[in-house]
Amino acid sequence: MVCTMAYLVKTPWWLSRLFYCDLNWKMQQDAKPSVYLTFDDGPHPTITPFVLDTLKAHNAKATFFCIGKNVAQHTDVYKRTIAEGHTVGNHTHNHLNGWFTKTEAYIENVERAATLINSRLFRPPYGRIKRSQANRLMRKKPSYKIYMWDVLSADFDITLTPEKCLANVLENIEPGSIVVFHDSEKAWDRMSYALPRVLEHCTQQGWDIKALPQD
């Protein structure tokens, strides 16, 4: 287990089994090894296009968990993301922390974002969601599929060097991994350094870089 400050870089197997075992922490493997890069908090008018250009250069696909209010402000970037073959998911409308939000208000916020984000994929901001909130989302018709992660780049940590952010990923990524990056201003210095190098590493390993399935 690798622990830095108040977060885990690598999700230990027992944590995902004991808590919220019905959420998606890692992907089952196809015949060819694959990894799954995800980006939270966009779209952003300049950072998301950088991510899209970098992914295209490596023939890679990814999943973008979008904030509803950002989609409303940058609809063109959101549409480009979908047009280029990536998948999108719901990340609430206002980046709510589920632990500190009443369940009814949380669900209403997710549904507000859903008027702009055509997806039943969901990731809770900060990874913080109450059992009652997860149950409500997974029991909706159609239900939401909640994706967590097994590798956290920690690009949001402003005390982290870009090199350490890269090491967080390279030392822990493996076939089936769901990796978290952020297409946000706070993460820019670290994400922009790490992403191209992570893509190069995955290509050298012969791994496919895929988006989470939309259905």
Phi–psi pair at 14, nearest 5 degrees: -70, -30
User: What is the pLDDT at residue 2?
Assistant: 46
Q: Is residue 211 helix, strand or coil? A: coil
Please confirm, yes or no, whether 189 is among the known catalytic residues: no
User: What is the pLDDT at residue 18?
Assistant: 66
- Kindly state the DSSP code that residue 27 receives in the 8-state scheme: P
Torsion of CA 8, 10, 16, 18, to 10 degrees: -60
| pLDDT tens over the chain, length 215 residues | 344 457 889 987 767 666 677 899 999 987 889 999 999 999 999 999 999 999 999 999 999 999 999 999 999 999 999 999 999 999 999 999 999 999 999 999 999 999 999 999 999 999 999 999 999 999 999 999 999 999 999 999 999 999 999 999 999 999 999 999 999 999 999 999 999 999 999 999 999 999 999 87
Active-site hit among 30, 40, 74, 95: 40
Are the C-beta atoms of residues 151 and 179 closer than 8 Å to each other? yes
DSSP percent split of the chain into helix, strand, coil, nearest 5:
40, 15, 45
Q: Which residues make beta-bridge pairs with 90?
A: 66, 122
Active-site hit among 44, 86, 95, 182: 182
Please confirm, yes or no, whether 40 is among the known catalytic residues: yes
Q: Which residues make beta-bridge pairs with 3?
A: 8
Query: What domains can be seen in the chain, in order of their start residue?
Result: 3-209 (3.20.20.370)
